[in-house]
Structure 1
């Protein structure tokens, strides 16, 4: 009898979770985006899911997926962190080119902007946490298993013309950003133009990244304002987490 009750409880719980998941998806925005941005054969598989409230302020750009197409493989507005309440302020501005190399996940309350003539690329299992602002005016590339923590910003432009007051020379307004594979950025980090990180890099909270760190080598911890080397032989144990992260973030196929 107890065994039967356990089976019934398990099935009911599974059904409830499926119902909750179904209603967590913004089906109107999901259907609109997929069928507007992809060819029909791809769109009908619904590779991109939107969760919760989101504003499309521009969809004149291009999106492509350079990987086997799976339902819900890319999620905007996912609730995969401890903070479960959303402010409902997510916004997508896509005027340039956005490329996904596989599954990717963007947390709730995001601002995601790819300007005209700009290029943005996400590697396999690329991730932005909640309240992250991404502004791509030239080029931003995230490697495989690269994650940016909550309340961070990744911006490749100064947004305003800056000059040397003695020489009258103008500084470049836009500079590329390239994040290496297996990078773990903590929370409240500013990733600015010219940032380039090596593979297996960890960045401490409240840091400002604004230069090329690849000469420091892999398996490093950097941090500070601006960020500098803190420790060598330092790494997140990705192998012990990968299966859990896939199970936690990916839609069941």
Structure 2
């Protein structure tokens, strides 16, 4: 209840947002809670899969004090799908272009300063944890030509993140990136290739990211660090 009270000052925006995007039978339950929202563009649509309950999606959660308490910026002309519980932290931005499809799997959590930029396809599997200051962008926004004047590539490609992935702080994930299940992406890594063929429970790290270690994963039920005095 105490946590829900943090969203009370933004109830008018929350009510409008839910009824703008969801069918009446879902909207009345207020499944999406907003905190300090900056609603830059509210086009496109939102889909919620599975059972709907109040506060299952929380946007702009204040949980990391080293980043500004600026809530969340929302700019959407495409489709955003929530497969279940979702929490996106403070100082975050969600931008979905016309025709873009952004999907958050069940139990998605981004702690702070998430930049999710989707103009084509950006998919997160279930139980994904994204650390501070991560950017996911499936487009270059500009195309590159060869010397003969032909376009070298489309300039965009889908990003597909596997289940139970953990992205450490300050990672950048670009078009065409794919990861296997139970994958860890090390801090400050640049992920732009297709690593879906790697065995599950692996560590990718570096610029560009490469396979560093196998047989490692984050256990969400047992990952607390004990600091010795």
Aligned counterparts of 1:89 and 1:78: Cα–Cα separation in 2: 7
2:11 alignment partner, one of 19, 27, 45: 27
Higher strand share: 2
1:46-78: per-residue Cα shift (whole Å, max 9, x none)?
000011x22111111110111100100001001
Q: Say if 2:59 and 2:71, in contact at 8 Å, map to a contact too.
A: no
Q: Secondary structure at the match of 2:16?
A: helix
Q: Secondary structure at the match of 2:122?
A: strand
Aligned counterparts of 1:85 and 1:185: Cα–Cα separation in 2: 17
1:60 alignment partner, one of 36, 43, 47: 43
Deviation of 1:226 after TM superposition, in Å, equals 0.4
Partner of 1:77: 60
Deviation of 1:170 after TM superposition, in Å, equals 3.0
Q: Secondary structure at the match of 1:213?
A: coil
In the superposition, relative to structure 1, how do residues 137 and 215 fare at CA in structure 2: closer, same or farther (>3 Å)? same
Higher helix share: 1
Aligned counterparts of 1:138 and 1:41: Cα–Cα separation in 2: 29
Aligned counterparts of 1:128 and 1:87: Cα–Cα separation in 2: 14
Q: Say if 1:141 and 1:177, in contact at 8 Å, map to a contact too.
A: yes
Partner of 2:130: 148
Give the 5 Å matches for 1:109-188. 109-165=91-147, 168-188=150-170
Q: Secondary structure at the match of 2:144?
A: coil
1:218 aligns with 2:194: no
Aligned counterparts of 1:188 and 1:215: Cα–Cα separation in 2: 24
Aligned pairs, number: 223
Q: Say if 2:143 and 2:151, in contact at 8 Å, map to a contact too.
A: no
1:197-223: per-residue Cα shift (whole Å, max 9, x none)?
000000100000001112221000010
TM-score (norm 1): 0.83
- Structure ID, larger Rg: 1
In the superposition, relative to structure 1, how do residues 28 and 84 fare at CA in structure 2: closer, same or farther (>3 Å)? farther
TM-score (norm 2): 0.91
Partner of 2:25: 41
Partner of 2:34: 50
1:97 aligns with 2:79: yes
Q: Secondary structure at the match of 1:144?
A: coil
Once the two structures are overlaid, the 10-residue window that deviates more, 177-186 or 161-170, is 161-170
Aligned counterparts of 2:184 and 2:27: Cα–Cα separation in 1: 36
Deviation of 1:89 after TM superposition, in Å, equals 6.2
Deviation of 1:130 after TM superposition, in Å, equals 1.0
Deviation of 1:166 after TM superposition, in Å, equals 5.3
